[in-house]
Chain A
Amino acid sequence: MSDPEASLIRRCAEGDQHAFQALVHRTQRPVWSLIRSLATDEGSAEDALQETFLSVWRSAASFRGEGSGRAWLFTVARRQAIRTWRRRVGEPTQAVPLHELGALAGWGQNPEQLMSMVDDKRLVSTALSSLSPTDREVIVLCDLEGMTGPEAGSVLGISPNAVRVRLHRARLRLMGQLREETDVTSEV
């Protein structure tokens, strides 16, 4: 299967600067999106972005091609983000029973309201930014960046099955956050 990122990383390992530029151009937006999902402030997020790509250039030779190039790149970015904020990103958030998350997400509530809030992309973005880094990153990787369970699992250091569980709970929390945002908005 074609893996353009992997090819570019291999060429970076040989010192090919054009390949590095192409890799940066191709991946800077999704990498920025992941880093921002873990960031505490915009300024240090930008530092983390720059350090990520410097690290990619320096450590390209360590890419063994066992996973996809994109997964390797995101792993470097995630490590950089954790180093920057020295936070325990990726730790499971408190284990709330799934049916309680479902209730917070609006199960059994007004279906029209649920559907209309989900349709509002700006509201979804705002709600996403209010989630914990652990919830945000799994949604960014799987839903925004379209990573498979095994790919996201290799970035997060968890099994594909654990990715699915975390993703499901994160989406429910996102729906719960959307309901909160909607309540706040309608009160203004």
Chain B
Amino acid sequence: MSQAKFEGDQLIGGVWCHQVLEMLEAYVEGTLSAAQLGRLQAHVSDCHACASFGQSYGHLVEVIRSGLEEEQDGSVFERLSERLADVG
């Protein structure tokens, strides 16, 4: 039987907040079973902390997947091309 692991850890819908935290990755990847998903949804519908944190977590993944503004110095690839010119 699980129990609270930190201050504010609540048992809602048969699931603790810390268990929601454990399930977040699977939730974002869509790999939770229907039963797990149902329990998670029951919890977050009554738990503002988990709902907002889960939303931010999911949004972070979306933001990274949409591509980050990496400084791409094109000269790196020009020098790579020069270095590889004699390959073969």
Contacts and interface: CB of A to CB of B under 8 A. Distances in A.
B53 A107 contact: yes
Interface string A84-107: 000000000000011110110111
Nearest to A122: B69
Interface stretch (A1-9, A64-72, A113-121, A150-158): A113-121
Given A49-B76, A97-B5, A143 B57 contact: no
B49 A108 contact: yes
A107 B55 CA distance: 11
Interface of B: 5-6, 8-9, 17-18, 21-22, 24-26, 29, 48-50, 52-53, 55-57, 59-61, 63-65, 67-70, 72, 76-77, 79-81, 83-84, 87-88
Given A17-B88, A164-B25, A102 B53 contact: yes
Contacts of A171: 25, 57, 60-61
Which secondary structure dominates chain A's binding surface?
helix
A119 B63 contact: yes
Interface string A1-34: 0000000000000010100110010001100110
A54 B63 contact: no
Nearest to A103: B6
Interface of A: 15, 17, 20-21, 24, 28-29, 32-33, 36, 46, 49-50, 53-54, 57, 97-100, 102-103, 105-108, 111, 114-115, 118-119, 121-122, 124-125, 128, 139, 143-144, 146, 164-165, 167-168, 171-172, 174-175, 178
Q: Please indicate which of the listed interface residues B24, B64, B67 has the most CB atoms of chain A within 10 Å of its own CB.
A: B64
B25 A174 contact: no
B21 A118 contact: no
B21 A143 contact: no
